[in-house]
Chains A and B, each alone.
Chain A
Amino acid sequence: MSAVETGGAVLGRGRAGLGGGRAGLGGAAPARFGGRLLASEIGMVLRRRRNQLLLLALVAIPVIIGVAVKLTTDPAAGESAGLLGDITNNGIFVSFTALVVVIPVFLPMAVSVVVGESIAGEAGTGTLRYLLTVPVSRTRLLLVKFAAAAVWCLVTASAVAVAGLVTGFALFPAGRVTLLSGTQTSLADGIGRLALVVGYAALMMFAIAAIGLFISTLTEVPIAAMAAVLSVAVLMQVLVAVPQLHALRPWLISNYLLRFADVLRDPLSLTGLVPGVRAALCYLVLFGLLAWSRLSTKDISS
């Protein structure tokens, strides 16, 4: 309503020579509205106390890993094995180790809390009805909700990586990064590879967010949606772990969550990431469309 009024005011004042600039704003109104809805949605996700605590818990994980390795590693005892052993040589591996730790359960949990809330929360508190009478199209509402969840995925994964870098460089040496192939690369290249892993992890979480968004359109009880999303994520982990069900594995997103080791090899080859990316995109499109079908045909009476 305010935009209409402003538009009228613009027309009225057009003669005063201000019209040129203002008219542009009037034309951009739909985009601005979507942008404002998105900004308010992202702000709501990030300002919610529950989510801030979740973020804090996630950030604590790399700190705990770094401190624990620092306290328990006896310099005289020599190298310990694997990724954890790399930490003492280069702090950047705190980030990689922390990502390996959070990706299977903690990140899906953080995603499920936000995404379970998204539609079901609005429905539960009765605000979904008012949101739609504004009127904003259901498709756009879904896109905004997903975009906010995607931002949350990126924020959580990046926060873990950045906290890992800060902890790592505070406690352990920086410098050239030893890759899985035993060759060394520059720190900048190492951080670039870390960014690739963060992107991969975020994409995997997009897939889980899409599942969650669909589940969230099925119920008006946000806590049920959260629990269901997390259960689905954990159930898929369990299915992947059962050897007798290996035929199912290629179909489960949990099979691909940690398949980013190729980023740490020399020469860098991203073909190992392709199956995971492909699976995540399939989940994204399929569950995104399911959520759209469900929301756009749903009777929203409360």
Chain B
Amino acid sequence: MPEPSSTATPGFGPASGLARHWRLARWLAPAAVATVIALLASGALDAGADPNLPPQSAAQLLAAVGDAKLVGFSGTVVEKASLGLPELPQISGADPATGLAGLLTGSHTVRVWYGGQTRQRIALLSSLGEQDVFRNGRELWQWNSDTRTASHLVLPADAAAHPGTPLAITPDEAARRALALIDPSTEVSTERAALVAGRAAYVLVLHPRDQRSRVGSVRISVDGKTKIPLGVQVLARGSDRPAIDIAFTRFSDSMPSADNFDWTPPAGVTVKEDGAANPAAPPAAPVPPGRGGPAAGRAPDISTIGTGWTTVVKLAGTSKLPLAGTESGPDSSGLGAVLTGLPEVRGSWGSGRLLRSALLSVLVTDDGRTFAGAVDPELLYAAAAAK
């Protein structure tokens, strides 16, 4: 009943010379597929893609970014940090994808919905969990799927546009912060347009003029259509790979639907009512650990020294790295081990330990002060000497 097959050599192994060539040729198919996969993965085939945008000067672009109206957008942001920090020991139970220390290493994915100044949603995705901040008018909800807890805050009626909402981790906010630093201390230029999230984008490059800054350049991709920043890369001085890379991988400039901002806690979830924000008690400010918000809620004494690119952050009254500020218990012992592994430094300002990476320098003095900045260590010593 079966029909003889036309394609194959059934039965015993082929023997003739022609068949031997045929046998070798059969291995060409998987080899070809492997080559195609490798080519596609390396991106060699899409290197020629050149987005076509009308040329704009750096000043024109800066003005356009300043005028850009944020009506509504949604998208996915991927944040990659390779600061060259020492590998922090994995603490059991602590998800590396969350927490402030988590944001400083590795790669993170954030989904963002923006529906105007008072309607936002941000979701920090982890492997099998999610942390969300929903803001709709005065209602602010925070949700953590790992602990299954929610907290609720009713903002004061005159709340600012960003009352501690961690928009700082979106390219938009990061770019605005970088642009705020532009003053005579910065050299601004443009580069060839690039593709970000599949959209043609202008590239603005900021070079700090101050050689003591560890920042070599900041590259900002600006959407050609909406002039919204789509990506920010921070390159350390003398490095051609970004130490920080925040960019949209998907971006839609249409207004997200309203139900993205509404949230009600599911049944059986403990809800912490924070009430109206009370300015009299800032230490209790409900900044959850690791939301990327200012850590000021827990660390009592943070001050900055200097301005612009060479700003140094000073943390007094702690013997730990600032990264440890939001954690407790076993974490501190793990960080203590890291700390004692750092090289000792001493000078007229005293003695301490220095963490030095391509982009960041952190000095922890023996008398319990911490200085950090994207600057050369000499600036930290100077700050420490100034008391």
Contact = CB atoms under 8 A, between A and B. Distances in A.
A289 B29 contact: yes
Interface residues of B, number: 49
B1 A261 contact: no
A50 interface: no
A178 interface: yes
Interface in A276-296: 282, 285-286, 289-290, 292-293, 296
A269 to B, nearest CB: 8
A182 B268 contact: no
B64 interface: no
A298 to B, nearest CB: 7
Interface string B14-56: 1000000001001101100110010001000000000000000
B284 to A, nearest CB: 23
Contacts of A140: 5, 8
A300 B11 CA distance: 7
Contacts of B128: 82-83, 100, 180, 258, 261
Contacts of B123: 181, 265
A137 interface: yes
Given A79-B270, A298-B13, A85 B2 contact: no
Contacts of B34: 286
Contact of B127 (A129, A178, A258, A301): A258
Interface of A is mostly: helix
Interface string A1-34: 1111011000000000000000000000110010
A182 B23 CA distance: 57
A292 B7 CA distance: 12
A181 B143 CA distance: 8
A132 B143 CA distance: 61
5 contacts: A3-B1, A82-B129, A180-B130, A296-B9, A296-B26
Interface of B: 1-5, 7-14, 23, 26-27, 29-30, 33-34, 37, 41, 76, 87, 109, 111, 123, 125-130, 132, 143, 145-148, 150, 250, 260, 263, 265-270
Interface of A: 1-4, 6-7, 29-30, 33, 78-79, 81-83, 85-86, 89, 100, 129, 132-140, 176, 178, 180-184, 243, 250-251, 258-259, 261-262, 265, 267, 269, 271-272, 282, 285-286, 289-290, 292-293, 296-301
